[in-house]
Structure 1
């Protein structure tokens, strides 16, 4: 049997991972400027965390989770999304008791969903996310959205669109729920089995159905915006006011409901409008989830966050033909002549300890082939060490750009190369 990666998974090779590392570093720096701190949660949780947190009427819980019993008979699930696990950790470690509030977190997570693999949507996917817990201030909603928009602009994306909606508070959602049940009941014979099962459990999920998305009943379904009470309207107005103040363009889409049960008030998505990106344009989705902490056994805690698909971000960069400013060059490559390997590895370690990127030949190649290797690795300088140089206690340093070569005492090599390569890195 020829061994291959499982369906729905991919290998990221070095020429790809450098792009991922660049993006991840940008995201970390942006989180630092927004004063968000990193959290890391387990790759699997007790299944109940997602059943109670994500919602048992969602496609994720009903169809897509990788769930198994461990040897102790406990039901365990590989995480299909990031928020529920973060909120669980927030409650378990009593972060709500910190005098510094709200708690502002970010994370990088590998997620697992059993769905039909397609471009930018795999069974093992990578996500960057942020969560803010402990504040019901609508300016936090705007800040979270601003963080996401800042990230996309920082990596160079231009063809993106922000879409927002309000799902309202509990009172507003209940009023909209009754209107949806009344609206869809006469059409249930024409809708799929999933829609039928959701009618009384969570009719809002019907609006997110991919099977019946073109049915006429979907197009004229009651809008949640028509059922917002005064408090919910005021909240949504403030969110829009803050976005306007931040000069962040947006569209209001009354049909945007998101695919998870825990959302209320603000919901948003950021989409790519790049030509050739594909049919599924969503890059990021998120929203407010006041009440989720209580569902997971914690105190009443307002929250908001988003999940950013990193595969889809890479596809958007490709669609816009953006070349990331990635430095792949080598500072120093050692060319060795004769039996000087012990001294070479010692010098290499000294240079690496001082922050320089250094490599050498490991295949006992001829001098000409070693210089070719240095060229392929885009080395800025070559350090030549042979038996003759060793006897004189010197090395020869050659610039690969100009061809100029100087002789340097071995005990001065580190300081010389730090100076030539722009100082300690």
Structure 2
């Protein structure tokens, strides 16, 4: 017997009962970004592998271990995008939309791919919403990104479950000086480091700072601190960011070990973390990358952005039971029609109602069926009300109106009054 077909491990189907919560989350974010003046951009999910090697860094875990890379029929090395910033930078460079100092405030949504060990909240195909801002170099735009996420957490009802962690990595020059001091210190304690940190010491030593190994964390207690190596420009920038967050009243924690996993970050880095999801605590993270555009062949262009994981935030909404009641109902009204004449009239009536109430979720029964079977389907749909068209209703040009949830008697509504009646019962409450 042939093996049954299944989804690839770590790449999950999002089933119909799950999608309403996804659409609610994505719609809430999209409306918020519209209100702040951000414009959507859509990039391919496949890019040349060189793009990620040049931007993320060849000695990062993502490039070394996690990317889905393959050779196409032309012999080109291609990679499923593991993150969105590099692809967005490539797009703005290719189309010249940041030239001449043009400010661009962009956002995108879509799947990313990393070959990691699948676990709850961490998948091989995962979805992100990301923001990128170009040609603004002050702390005010860094603060705006954080303030937007703070407002989003409030709208979603999860603000009390997240914590903001901040750090500054300085310019590439100051980070280079810190890197040398850190390597010198860690090399003196080499035997006390875990195997992964020993490897990172030679390739990407700043990543040792976010190790989860308890013995290595003990070594790091007395390690040099990035704050002691910051240049004046970065220090002033960071103080400006903190002042703006203080002015708005957003609490934060300074985390000197916060370095992020990508080589291109400079100055501000931040993470929103939670203790509600077990080991997968980061739900939104980002920072400034002022040298990335130039590194990828463009002119010096300041940039800052963040990405949030949709799976983890949807999981948070479920865990904290912050799911609006209305999104669990996908149908407002279900129309039952009995007999061919009633079915034809029902179709025409349904379209008239939709013309007048475009936001009404009206489902018309398909597949005919007895009175009992149609009502069973109406109830299963979750609709608030059933509309009934049979021989008696056709003769009187009325429709039966029956509440399916709670109290209320069935009544008859004239066809030309149905939309107005539904507006008061459903659309307005």
Q: Give the TM-score normalised by structure 1.
A: 0.91
Whole-Å separation in 1 of the counterparts to 2:50 and 2:196: 22
Which has the larger displacement, 81-90 or 308-317? 308-317
8 Å CA contact 1:195–1:206 kept in 2: the answer is yes
Whole-Å separation in 2 of the counterparts to 1:35 and 1:270: 22
Q: Give the TM-score normalised by structure 2.
A: 0.91
8 Å CA contact 2:398–2:412 kept in 1: the answer is no
- 1:316 maps to what in 2? 316
8 Å CA contact 1:103–1:133 kept in 2: the answer is yes
Task: Tell me if 1:222 matches 2:224.
Answer: yes
Report the CA distance between 1:372 and its aligned residue.
Answer: 3.0
Whole-Å separation in 2 of the counterparts to 1:204 and 1:153: 33
8 Å CA contact 2:334–2:387 kept in 1: the answer is yes
Report the CA distance between 1:122 and its aligned residue.
Answer: 0.4
8 Å CA contact 1:165–1:268 kept in 2: the answer is yes
Report the CA distance between 1:297 and its aligned residue.
Answer: 1.2
Report the CA distance between 1:344 and its aligned residue.
Answer: 2.5
- 1:149 maps to what in 2? 150
Task: Tell me if 1:283 matches 2:287.
Answer: no
Whole-Å separation in 1 of the counterparts to 2:385 and 2:325: 21
Report the CA distance between 1:149 and its aligned residue.
Answer: 1.6
Task: Tell me if 1:95 matches 2:97.
Answer: yes
8 Å CA contact 2:104–2:134 kept in 1: the answer is yes
- 2:427 maps to what in 1? 422
- 1:243 maps to what in 2? 245
- Going from structure 1 to structure 2, the CA distance change for 1:394 and 1:191 (only over 3 Å counts) comes to same
Report the CA distance between 1:109 and its aligned residue.
Answer: 1.8
Whole-Å separation in 1 of the counterparts to 2:148 and 2:18: 25
Extract unaligned runs of 5+ from structure 1.
none
Match of 1:64 among 49, 63, 66: 66
- 1:305 maps to what in 2? 305
8 Å CA contact 1:138–1:239 kept in 2: the answer is yes
Report the CA distance between 1:42 and its aligned residue.
Answer: 0.6
8 Å CA contact 2:193–2:216 kept in 1: the answer is no
Report the CA distance between 1:127 and its aligned residue.
Answer: 0.8
Whole-Å separation in 2 of the counterparts to 1:213 and 1:405: 73
8 Å CA contact 2:72–2:78 kept in 1: the answer is yes
- 1:182 maps to what in 2? 184
Whole-Å separation in 2 of the counterparts to 1:215 and 1:333: 60
- 1:405 maps to what in 2? 411
8 Å CA contact 2:21–2:323 kept in 1: the answer is no
- 1:49 maps to what in 2? 51
Report the CA distance between 1:334 and its aligned residue.
Answer: 1.6
Match of 2:370 among 346, 357, 366: 366
SS of the equivalent of 1:127 reads strand
Task: Tell me if 1:160 matches 2:156.
Answer: no
SS of the equivalent of 1:15 reads coil
CA deviation vs aligned residue, 1:280-332 (integer Å, no higher than 9, x gap): 31111111111110111111111111111111112222332323243415332
Whole-Å separation in 1 of the counterparts to 2:214 and 2:426: 61
- 1:337 maps to what in 2? 338
- 1:122 maps to what in 2? 123
Whole-Å separation in 2 of the counterparts to 1:421 and 1:160: 35
- Going from structure 1 to structure 2, the CA distance change for 1:181 and 1:421 (only over 3 Å counts) comes to closer
Report the CA distance between 1:368 and its aligned residue.
Answer: 2.6
Whole-Å separation in 2 of the counterparts to 1:366 and 1:106: 50
8 Å CA contact 2:192–2:219 kept in 1: the answer is no
- 2:141 maps to what in 1? 140
Task: Tell me if 1:380 matches 2:384.
Answer: yes
- 2:354 maps to what in 1? 352
